[in-house]
Each structure stands twice: as structure tokens, then as C-alpha cells.
Chains A and B, each alone.
Chain A
């Protein structure tokens, strides 16, 4: 049981890290960035390229890929979202635009790396099993959980304690008011995308290393889960995304053990449905109130 709990936390850590990026952009822009999963995928490929061809150790490839992912995020914002910002239907048009961007990015990955599942070369990560309280945890699992937690904590610190963080929260509250107060809204939005995509990219690299499998369609499986996580946690709530991410990971593992893996998605989305019936704003979401 303890072992399964660790498996669940491990899976949940990746889901949470991925979903946090989603939540950040949604909180700031009220737009669902469906290209997030493409950044997830591309980032994993970039890390793979650095490790496999550039002979870079993973510890360096990870921050480099994060940087690359963040830059892709900025580019994404500039090309797919900014031109549509003034419009009245910017939520929907942004969504569709991001969908197009996702398709293009995925096709780029397909073109450069081909459709086969790629693997990290042997020895990228030392495969030592550790025994903790009767469960076999691999050093890899522990590292991934720690890295995810550290990154999420770092994001929270940025949002709480730095000037940029305050500005991001201000823009999330009301872009107009923030602009009036002298905040450079465009720059803040670009930064939000940078942070969001960097985290999504980190999730991609960790996912690729965790299951030693990188392919152009790897984002598809996480995309829906990420969506479920932020809906469950409350759209726009970072803390909600974290909690819901871990909860979903544990739920999935438990389902596989108790009911069988065919039930996994049914139960995950079934629970999501039930939570929405009982608490439509999600676990930590605030009910939408329009003030003035």
C-alpha cells in the first residue's frame, strides 16, 4: 500500500507541475492555453537532444530545457495570443488559436524527430532502487518528486514575495486597474507565459525521464488530465492545481490497483464530474463574481 502511495505521489507530482502552468495562464488571462501540452512535448525533446547528442548531463539539460520552454512560451504569447487580445471574444479565439499553435508545434516535433518513441540513453539517470519503510522507491522517483515540489514552491514564492509576483496577481485581478496603477501589462503577461511554459516544460522533461519515453504525441495523454486537474482544483488557483494534481495521481494508481487499468480514466473523469456537481468552482476555486 505504501508503495502504491509513492507511485501515486510520483504520478501526481508530474500532473501537478503540468497543471500549475495551465492555472497560471488561466488566472492571468482567463484563457485556456491548449498549446501547453505541446510545450510539454517539445521541452522533453529538447532535453533529449541535449542529453543524447550534446552529451550534456541531465542536471544541466533540465534548466536549459526550462529556459527553452519559457522562450517558446513567450513566442507563443506574442504570436497566438497577443494579436487577439483586444477582441471581445478573446477567450474563445485565444483557445482556438492555442489549439492551432499546439498542432503546429506538434508537427514540428514530428518533422524533426519522427514518430517513433525515443528514449534517453542508458545511464542518463542512475537507476538505484532505495528501500524506504518497506517500499521500493527508485532514486529517479524521489528526485522527480523533489524537483516538482521545489519548482512549485519556487513559483509560489515568486508570486507571493516578489514584485513581479505582485504585478502578476494584480493583472490577474483586473488588467485595467493594473494598467492604471502603472503596471506594464504586456510585460507581465509575457512573464506569466514564460513561467507557465517553463513549468510545463519541466513537467515534460521529468515525464520523459520518468517513463523513459519521448514521442510527439506524449502531450495528448497529459492534456486532458491537466485540464481535469485545474477544473478539479478550481480554475486559476495554483494551490488548487497542486492539490488536485497529487489527488488525481493517487486516485489513478488506486483505481488501477483496485479495479483494473481499464477503469482508470473512467474513474478519474467520473470523480471530476461528481466534484463539479457538488462544488462547481472546484476544490479551491472562488465562485465567479463580477464586481463593477
Chain B
């Protein structure tokens, strides 16, 4: 008898709680956006590497995101709806990345997640967002596989290595002409390994023979053994797939050991931090890039102007971050200013030829980025687009 009454009371208490929990889990944005009302805010959660091996990129990205958010809110692009940017550090670690995603999804209840910085972190954290039906816009994941193929909620505005490297190799070959190459890549990171696969194929397609392949790991500081072995084989060009910190050390040590030939880097090199840390050794290094800094398009000029005002050197990472915010805003606009998670996801599919610092931007049918890439070279301590 008593048991029966107790369990009835429990059920009475538990039921509304359960209902409330169900409602809450649906995405807080719904409350404001469901009716298409103007005003209110859309939360974007940015998971960036502010510490760890990828910290240089994270800093650039934060600047780009903040500038983009200010621009969209300042110009009132979303007619009363404001973008709210939350930034959390994923410490360049998968575990932390997962924690940050969980917080964004369950505690902060964001409408869209931006990031994470590295492809390695994305392969671990994105599946959570996919499962929770939260759209993710990657702004620097360039591994061709393992990102957007996670599911229909994962999108990216960063061109993959497969979209940038072949063009870079081709252009480099046309300009310098080389028949043999040596490749050095990091085999403990999803991005650098994927970059290597693309480089290998691109070199083969250009009938360049690879005379030596060496590997390293992210925590390595000494590359003299690998570089000495490579130098001994006398390649016409050294192709490197590495993150910025390793890249700077590799290039500096290569020059120190007396290798004076050309060097071609993957996307990891696309940071002014690379130039700063490698010093004079960075001169002449070629990199394929997603951001044509020389473009005179108004969106690019505006972006450069805003970064100048912040006292920050614009780079590919801040360009992709800034563009990411513009893309989110456009998706929300196309979705009728609704801020729900599914609305944003559907809005992404409708973004076409949007004016961004990256050029005219659209998504491919597989949710990857689509726009023209470029090639740049370090000249006098600065990146210069190779025409």
C-alpha cells in the first residue's frame, strides 16, 4: 500500500521533470527563433586550440572570429538578431576537445559549433555534435577524409589539402622545375598524415620521383637525423607536411645543415608565426594557401582593414575564421532568421557565392568548401602571392 503511494508520488514528481529535460535538450535557440521573431541572440561556440601544439593557429582564429562577429553585429546584417561568440580552449588535445563540445552542446546550448582547430581533434569531437544534431562549421580542418564524412551536420569552409596541394605542386614545378623530391611528414597527426598522402599523389601525378621519405612526431625537437639523410640523397625539392612549430624548426635546421634547395610546405606553414619562428630560414618557402591575400575583392579589403584596426597581421587562419562567421550569418539569413540548430544546418546548404575574404564561397554537395586556392611564397619575411 505504502509502496504504491510512494511510487505514484515519485512518478508525479518525475514526469514533469522528464518533460522539462526533454524540452530543454532540444536547443535553447528554438525558444527565440521558432517564431521567426527578430531580436535575441544566436550562440556560436568556438572550440579553438589556445594552448598546445596548435596554439598559434588558435590565436589567429580567435581574432578572425571576433572581427567577424563585430562586423555582422555592427552592420546589423541579421536585422536585430545578434551573434554571440563563446570561445573555449581545446588545448590541442582530443580529450579536452570532447569536453568543450559537450559543454557547448549540453550546458551552453549553442546553435552552431565552430572549429575545432585541428583535424585530429575534429575526428574525435565532431561525432558528438553529429549525434546531438548540432551543426559544426570547421574553419581549419583540411584533412580530406574523416571530417565532413562524419555526417550531415559537419561542414567546413577550409579547403582540404587535396584541393590546395596539387595546385601548389603544379605551380611550383612550372616555376622552378624539379625532377626529384624528398618528403618529410609527421606521422602522429591526422592532418599531417593526410597532407602527406595528398603530396605523395600530387608528386606522382607530376612525374616527380620521391628519393627519400622521412617521418617525425609532434613533440620532436631534433630533426637533424632525418634532414641529414634527406640531404644525402640530393633531392631537387623538399616537401614537408607539418604543423607550424615543427615546420619552423625543420626549415631552420635544414638550412643549418646546409640544404639550400627549395622547400614546399603544406597548410601547416600558412601562419605568420612560422615566418617569425623560422627567421631568415623561411625565405623562399612555398606554400599552397586558401586565402589569396592580394585579392582586391571588397570583402577581403574590409577584412584586412578590420584586422589592421585590431593591430593584428591577417593570415589564412583568421581569414577562414572571419569568413566562417559571415557564412553562419548567411545561413541564418537564408533560414529566415531562425536560430534553431536544424535551421542553421539547412541554411548552410543554401549559401551560394557568398562574398568572403576567401572569394566567392559555396559549399560542395559533400559539405566541403568551394573556392579558388592560391600559392604563396615567403619574400622578405612576408607571404607574397605567386602569380
- Do A and B form a real pair? yes
Chain A residues in the interface with B (C-beta under 8 A): 3-4, 7-8, 10-11, 115-117, 119, 122, 127, 129, 136, 138, 140, 207, 210-213, 218, 220-221, 252-253, 256-257, 260-262
A210–B249 alpha-carbon span in the complex (Å): 11
Closest 9 CB pairs of A and B: A256-B225, A136-B258, A211-B221, A115-B51, A7-B224, A253-B225, A3-B228, A122-B279, A261-B216
A260–B225 alpha-carbon span in the complex (Å): 10
Q: Is B180 part of the contact surface with A, judged by Cβ < 8 Å?
A: no
Give A258's nearest chain B residue, CB to CB: B229
Given A129-B258, A212-B252, verify A262-B221 contact (CB < 8 Å).
Answer: no
Within the complex, which residue of B214, B249, B256, B257 is in contact with A213, where a contact is CB–CB below 8 Å?
B249
Within the complex, which residue of A122, A129, A218, A252 is in contact with B256, where a contact is CB–CB below 8 Å?
A129
Interface residues as binary, B179-204 with A (CB distance below 8 Å gives 1, 0 otherwise) = 00000000100000000000000000
Chain B interface main SS type: helix
Given A122-B279, A138-B256, verify A4-B225 contact (CB < 8 Å).
Answer: yes
Complex contacts, A220 vs chain B, CB 8 Å? 219
Contacting pair A261 B214 (CB below 8 A):
yes
A138–B227 alpha-carbon span in the complex (Å): 14
Q: Is B52 part of the contact surface with A, judged by Cβ < 8 Å?
A: yes
Q: Is B79 part of the contact surface with A, judged by Cβ < 8 Å?
A: no
Interface residues as binary, B34-66 with A (CB distance below 8 Å gives 1, 0 otherwise) = 000000000000000001100110000000000
Min CB–CB distance A263 → chain B (angstroms):
10
Contacting pair A127 B216 (CB below 8 A):
no
Complex contacts, B258 vs chain A, CB 8 Å? 129, 136
Given A115-B52, A122-B280, A138-B256, verify A10-B224 contact (CB < 8 Å).
Answer: yes
Q: How large is the interface on B (under 10, 10 to 19, 20 to 34, 35 or more residues)?
A: 20 to 34
Contacting pair B215 A262 (CB below 8 A):
yes
Complex contacts, A260 vs chain B, CB 8 Å? 214-215
Complex contacts, B229 vs chain A, CB 8 Å? 4, 256-257
Q: Is B145 part of the contact surface with A, judged by Cβ < 8 Å?
A: no
Complex contacts, B256 vs chain A, CB 8 Å? 127, 129, 138, 140
Q: List the count of A-B residue pairs having beta carbons below 8 Å apart.
A: 70
Complex contacts, A127 vs chain B, CB 8 Å? 256
Complex contacts, A213 vs chain B, CB 8 Å? 221, 245, 249
Min CB–CB distance A213 → chain B (angstroms):
5
Q: Is B102 part of the contact surface with A, judged by Cβ < 8 Å?
A: no
Q: Is B149 part of the contact surface with A, judged by Cβ < 8 Å?
A: no
Within the complex, which residue of A10, A122, A256, A262 is in contact with B187, where a contact is CB–CB below 8 Å?
A262
Q: A115-B52, A116-B56 are in contact. List 15 more A-B contacts (CB 8 A).
A: A4-B225, A8-B225, A10-B224, A129-B256, A129-B257, A210-B222, A211-B249, A213-B221, A220-B219, A253-B224, A261-B215, A261-B217, A261-B226, A262-B187, A262-B217
A117–B56 alpha-carbon span in the complex (Å): 10
Contacting pair B228 A7 (CB below 8 A):
yes
Give A128's nearest chain B residue, CB to CB: B256
Contacting pair B215 A4 (CB below 8 A):
no
Interface residues as binary, B202-239 with A (CB distance below 8 Å gives 1, 0 otherwise) = 00000000000011110111101110110010000000
Min CB–CB distance A135 → chain B (angstroms):
9
A115–B58 alpha-carbon span in the complex (Å): 13
A119–B52 alpha-carbon span in the complex (Å): 15
Within the complex, which residue of A136, A207, A252, A256 is in contact with B257, where a contact is CB–CB below 8 Å?
A136
User: Can you offer 5 A-B residue contacts whose CB atoms are under 8 A?
Assistant: A213-B221, A218-B221, A256-B225, A260-B214, A262-B217
Min CB–CB distance A118 → chain B (angstroms):
10
Contacting pair B219 A7 (CB below 8 A):
no
Within the complex, which residue of A116, A129, A212, A221 is in contact with B249, where a contact is CB–CB below 8 Å?
A212
Complex contacts, A252 vs chain B, CB 8 Å? 225
Contacting pair A4 B226 (CB below 8 A):
no
Complex contacts, A262 vs chain B, CB 8 Å? 187, 215, 217
Min CB–CB distance A141 → chain B (angstroms):
8
Min CB–CB distance B252 → chain A (angstroms):
7
Min CB–CB distance B106 → chain A (angstroms):
27
Complex contacts, B232 vs chain A, CB 8 Å? 3
Contacting pair B222 A211 (CB below 8 A):
yes
Min CB–CB distance A143 → chain B (angstroms):
13
Give B276's nearest chain A residue, CB to CB: A119
Contacting pair A116 B55 (CB below 8 A):
yes
Complex contacts, A207 vs chain B, CB 8 Å? 221
Complex contacts, B221 vs chain A, CB 8 Å? 207, 211, 213, 218, 221
Within the complex, which residue of B225, B245, B252 is in contact with A117, where a contact is CB–CB below 8 Å?
B245
